[in-house]
Amino acid sequence: MKKLGKIYMALVLLFLYVPIFVLIVFSFNETKSRSVFSGFTLDWYSKLFHNRIIMDSLMNTIIIAVAASIISTILGTFAAIGINNMRKVPKSLVLNATNMPIINPEIVTGVSLMLLFVFFAARMEFEFGFVTLLIAHITFDVPYIILNIMPKFKQMDPHLYEAAVDLGCSPMSAFRKVVLPEIMPGVVSGFLMAFTYSLDDFVVSYFTTGSTSQTLPITIYSMTRRKVSPEINALSTIIFVVVVVILIVKNTIENRARKEKGGEA
Partner 1 sequence: MKMKVLSAPYLVWMCVFIVVPLIMVAYFAVTTDNGSLTVQHLADVGQYANIFVRSIWLSVIATAICLVVAYPIAFLLSRMEKHHQGTMLMLVMLPMWMNFLLRTYAWMTLLGNNGIINYLFGLVGLGPYKLINTSGAVVLGMVYNYLPFMILPLYSVMEKIDKSVIEAASDLGSNPRSVLFRVIVPLSVPGITSGITMVFVPAISTFIISRMLGGGSNLLIGDLIEMQFLGNSYNPHLGAAISLVLMAIILVIMTVMNQFSPDDQVLI
Partner 2 sequence: MENIVSLKNIIVEFDGERVLKNISLDIKDKEFVTLLGPSGCGKTTTLRIIAGFIDPTSGDVLFDGERINSLPPHKRNVNTVFQRYALFPHLNVYDNIAFGLRVKKVPEKEILSRVGEMLDMVNLRGFEKRSVQRLSGGQQQRVAIARALVNRPKVLLLDEPLGALDLKLRKGMQTELRRIQQQLELTFVYVTHDQEEALTMSDTVVVMNNGHIQQIGSPTDIYNEPVNAFVADFIGESNIVNGSMPKDCVVEFTGRQFECVDKGFSPDETVDVVIRPEDIKIIPAENAKLTGIVESVVFKGVHYEMIVDGVDHKWTIHSTKYEPVGTMIGMHVDPYDIHIMKKTKEDEGTEL
Residues that bind partner 2 (CB under 8 A): 157, 159-160, 162-171, 173-174, 177-178, 181-182, 264-265
| Residue 98 binds which of partner 1, partner 2, none (CB < 5-8 A, kind-dependent) | partner 1
Give the shortest CB-165-to-partner 2 separation in angstroms.
5
* Cα–chain center distance at 21: 24
Measured from the CB atom, is 159 or 226 closer to partner 2? 159
Give the shortest CB-89-to-partner 2 separation in angstroms.
12
Give the shortest CB-94-to-partner 2 separation in angstroms.
20
| Residue 84 binds which of partner 1, partner 2, none (CB < 5-8 A, kind-dependent) | partner 1
Distance CA 217, CA 204 (A): 11
| Residue 187 binds which of partner 2, partner 1, none (CB < 5-8 A, kind-dependent) | none
Length of the chain, please?
Answer: 265
Give the shortest CB-7-to-partner 1 separation in angstroms.
11
Give the shortest CB-152-to-partner 2 separation in angstroms.
11
Measured from the CB atom, is 163 or 246 closer to partner 2? 163
Measured from the CB atom, is 42 or 107 closer to partner 1? 107
Measured from the CB atom, is 159 or 227 closer to partner 2? 159
Measured from the CB atom, is 5 or 168 closer to partner 2? 168
| Residue 169 binds which of partner 1, partner 2, none (CB < 5-8 A, kind-dependent) | partner 2
* DSSP letter string, the chain: -HHHHHHHHHHHHHHHHHHHHHHHHHTTBSSS-SS----B--HHHHHHHT-HHHHHHHHHHHHHHHHHHHHHHHHHHHHHHHHHTS-HHHHHHHHHHHHHHHHS-HHHHHHHHHHHHHHHHHHHT--SSHHHHHHHHHHHHHHHHHHHHHHHHHHS-THHHHHHHHTT--HHHHIIIIIHHHHHHHHHHHHHHHHHHHHH--HHHHHH--SS---HHHHHHHHHHSS--THHHHHHHHHHHHHHHHHHHHHHHHHHHHHHHHHH-
| Residue 173 binds which of partner 1, partner 2, none (CB < 5-8 A, kind-dependent) | partner 2
| Residue 81 binds which of partner 2, partner 1, none (CB < 5-8 A, kind-dependent) | partner 1
Give the shortest CB-256-to-partner 2 separation in angstroms.
18
End-to-end Cα, the chain, rounded Å? 38
Measured from the CB atom, is 43 or 182 closer to partner 2? 182
